[in-house]
Amino acid sequence: MKILGIETSCDETAAAVVEDGEQILSNVVASQADLHAQYGGVVPEVAARSHIEVMLPVIEQALAKAKLDWDDIDGIAVTYGPGLQGSLLIGSLAARTLAVLKHKPLYGINHLEGHVYANYLAADTRPPFPYLALIVSGAHTQLVLFKAHHDYQLLGQTLDDAVGEAFDKVSRILGLSPTQGGPAIAKAAISGDDHKYQFPKAKTERSLDFSYSGLKTAVLRQAQDLAGGDFRMPSFDVHAKLSQQQINDIAASFQRAAIGMLVDRTIKALEQYQPKAVVIGGGVAANQLLRVELTKKLPIPVQFTATNLCTDNAAMIAAVGYHYALAGKEIDPQQMRVEPSLQM
């Protein structure tokens, strides 16, 4: 079964064709990162306008790269939440229209489920149920227990900032990339001392929840202190007064603390729920330290999303779509609505 996936929840316009939920026939991602860099972050209106411009060419390219035409496509899967409302609207409207015009069944997909099912793509093994999923992206940090396809339970999540958001904010404080914070911090950390600064580990009331806003503020205070200013010093002014070594040391110490919290909570969830495997998905799953630490510290198999499929893409949406198709979870194109705050 060949599913066309469409994903526009944030600043990537993506379309892909996946066969039987596992084999990628094409995977096209048009990133808007350069477009938003000049504003220091994603601007929703700019994102939506850009999706409009490239949505159809991206879909056409996905079909062409797979060497398929519409007759070969068995269904369309599209992200309907969570994400930016304007961005979600463009992708879902394209999918709804095409479903009607081309007479294809339509499947509405939760973006977060997509990050988990990215683990079924280009993978040697399928995770056995029940498995624990750690979803770590720019907007979410969650632990979810998957008991079967379509049957899962949210165990814990961030109470404030997402881990990827913390990477991006700290990157801006340190004068590194405003839109590719994770990779920029990871790169700076290679030349830094990760024990130079002791950033606090947040305690959360429910032991499987996360919190990252305190860590981000602790980084800012440390940077202001090193820059010779007090807490009124604007965050965008600080980095110009830091040495390269100080920036690298803060990046390394922050990364150690941020990843430490993920590892900590994952171990707690393992002890409480005893899953058969752990899968990691979302943009932050590309982080090398996270991969090393979890593999070292977890007593059961850990499966990471392939590095090139960690950040937003439509192949992962098509992978979920396949299981929706098997379960007959089709949605009426006239009835589909976007849900910007959709939960797991």
Residues that bind Zn ion (CB under 5 A): 137, 312
Taking the least distance from each CB to ligand KG4, the nearer of 235 and 272 is 235
Taking the least distance from each CB to Zn ion, the nearer of 32 and 137 is 137
Taking the least distance from each CB to ligand KG4, the nearer of 212 and 333 is 212
Taking the least distance from each CB to Zn ion, the nearer of 199 and 304 is 304
Residue 45 CA to residue 114 CA, distance in Å, equals: 24
Exposed e or buried b for every residue in 10-40, given b needs 16+ CB within 10 A? bbbbbbbbbbebeebbbbbbbebeebbeeee
The beta-carbon contacts of 287-291 under 8 Å, at least 24 apart in sequence, are 287/182, 287/186, 287/255, 287/259, 288/186, 289/186, 289/189, 289/255, 289/256, 289/259, 290/136, 290/259, 290/262, 290/263
At closest approach, how far in Å is the CB of 193 from Zn ion?
A: 31
286 binds, among Zn ion, ligand KG4, none (CB under 5 to 8 A by kind): ligand KG4
Taking the least distance from each CB to ligand KG4, the nearer of 156 and 181 is 181
Helix (H, G, I), strand (E, B) or coil at 37: helix
At closest approach, how far in Å is the CB of 42 from ligand KG4?
A: 10
At closest approach, how far in Å is the CB of 118 from ligand KG4?
A: 9
Residue 207 CA to residue 216 CA, distance in Å, equals: 20
At closest approach, how far in Å is the CB of 206 from ligand KG4?
A: 23
Whether the CB-CB separation of 146 and 116 falls below 8 Å is answered with yes
Residues that bind ligand KG4 (CB under 6 A): 10, 137-139, 164-165, 167-168, 181-183, 186, 282-284, 286-287, 311-312
287 binds, among ligand KG4, Zn ion, none (CB under 5 to 8 A by kind): ligand KG4
Q: Taking the chain, what is the end-to-end CA distance rounded to the nearest angstrom?
A: 26
167 binds, among ligand KG4, Zn ion, none (CB under 5 to 8 A by kind): ligand KG4
Q: Which residue's CB atom is positioned nearest to ligand KG4?
A: 182
As beta bridge partners, residue 5 has 16, 77
